[in-house]
Amino acid sequence: MALPLLAELWAELPVEKRIFCSVLLFSWAVYLWEAFLARRQRKVYRTTTHVPWELGQIMDSETFEKSRLYQLDKSTFSFWSGLYSELEGTIAQSLVFLLLATLFSAVTGLPWSLYNTFVIEERHGFNQQTLGFFFKDAVKKFIVTQCILLPVTSLLLYIIKIGGDYFFIYAWLFTLVVSLVLVTIYADYIAPLFDKFIPLPEGELKQAIETMAKSIDFPLTKVYVVEGSKRSSHSNAYFYGFFKNKRIVLFDTLLEDYSALNKDHPEGEDGEDDDTKSKVKSKKQGCKNEEVLAVLGHELGHWKLGHTIKNIVISQMNSFLCFFLFAVLIGQKELFAAFGFYETQPTLIGLMIIFQFIFSPYNEVLSFCLTVLSRRFEFQADAFAKELGKAKDLYSALIKLNKDNLGFPVSDWIFSMWHYSHPPLLERLQALKDAKQD
């Protein structure tokens, strides 16, 4: 009896009200789904208090407990910050000017960022920033973002205005060019504004990297080390560049011999007793040269197997489809009326409404599909490193990186399937295990 009555009431609503209610209901449905997944994963963190037998030989109980508490803190923080994001989205869409919207977002998001950095990350030993460094970094990021975002958005709106019936093609081509330019200049001109990049010194590691790159025809031109340890003790590595101009970037926290976090506590100093030396050694983080090469073998596998190109193609196909659908929907006055714009239909507001709200169901499905594809790519890249003879070193590197970053090795299967762009540690180790034993 209730369903027919609800259907009748729904049919009597104006079109713009139905659009707004649909968007609002879907956004909260997504939030409740995410809350459900987070609750399942938090249950795993709370109840899994002993090292699984599969990890008995590679993870001690102290590291396991530290990673459990760290991930439990992070998941609790993500729940409340996620609720904040849902509330913020309904406010930000009403702001007309992009600068005010981004300023509003930056200011209201600041307390969450401060709590994450100086409470959670600090509590678990990752944060290396001071308050002064944090605020200086935040201001710099905001200024750089505006210097890029405002001109690009202005040009995009101008193209939409003068583009005629086929403006979506020109808008897509413009965003394609902008994205390629940003990828090209990011590491050379933007990233150095925030972190110091230095060439990897000549030595055994650099020579081994160049030899491995040459063996797979990777057109390597430079290898950099970035001082990520000034910001956080988390580690990373990536490559960038197009055509014959490829470069590799290694975080100093990834390199056992270069990490400033290790140099702060050198082993064997005068006056240190055996307990101190043991403690310093246990704190030493990063990977040995052979393990770094294995990690790079995995990363270069993404290039050799065409994963980077495939991701770019998928991204651009999605971008073209979105601009095409935007061109179809932008003339619907009901969309603007649903969000309170009855007399005018500003293009910027149209972009925000359609891309952020109307496309929400599509974006959720696409995000899940890309997550599944990413996990497949990760397994393939691991297999490529295995073919290079790096299975044993990649096996130990994954364990070290998981320990250094306090990654929890146990995951709820639904949460993992929906969120993890990388396979869980145990799955990756199992895939490498046979080759490691051989």
Q: Residues marked as binding for Zn(2+)?
A: 298, 302, 378
Among 34, 291, 382, 404, the one annotated catalytic? 382
Separation CA 180–CA 159 (nearest Å): 18
From 360, 364, 367, select the one nearest 93 (Cα to Cα): 360
Find the angle CA(285)-CA(291)-CA(295) to the nearest 5 degrees: 105
Among 122, 257, 272, 299, the one annotated catalytic? 299
224 within 8 A of 198, measured Cβ to Cβ: yes
170 within 8 A of 324, measured Cβ to Cβ: no
From 303, 166, 333, select the one nearest 241 (Cα to Cα): 303
Separation CA 372–CA 370 (nearest Å): 5
From 198, 408, 378, select the one nearest 298 (Cα to Cα): 378
Separation CA 178–CA 150 (nearest Å): 13
Separation CA 298–CA 189 (nearest Å): 26
Q: Is 300 exposed, middle or buried (CB count within 10 Å of its CB: 0-12, 13-18, 19+)?
A: buried
Q: Is 356 exposed, middle or buried (CB count within 10 Å of its CB: 0-12, 13-18, 19+)?
A: middle
Q: Calculate the CA dihedral of residues 381, 383, 384, 390 and round it to 10 degrees.
A: 110
382 is catalytic: yes
Residues in CB range of 189: below 8 A, 6 or more apart: none
Query: Which bin fits 268, alpha (ψ -120 to 50), beta or left (φ > 0)?
Result: left
Which residues are annotated as part of the binding site? 298, 302, 378
Separation CA 341–CA 117 (nearest Å): 39
Structure tokens at 187: 């590491």
H-helix or E-strand containing 91? helix 61-92
Backbone angles phi and psi of 220, in degrees to 5: -75, 130
Strand partners, 240: 247
Q: Provide the annotated active-site residues.
A: 299, 382
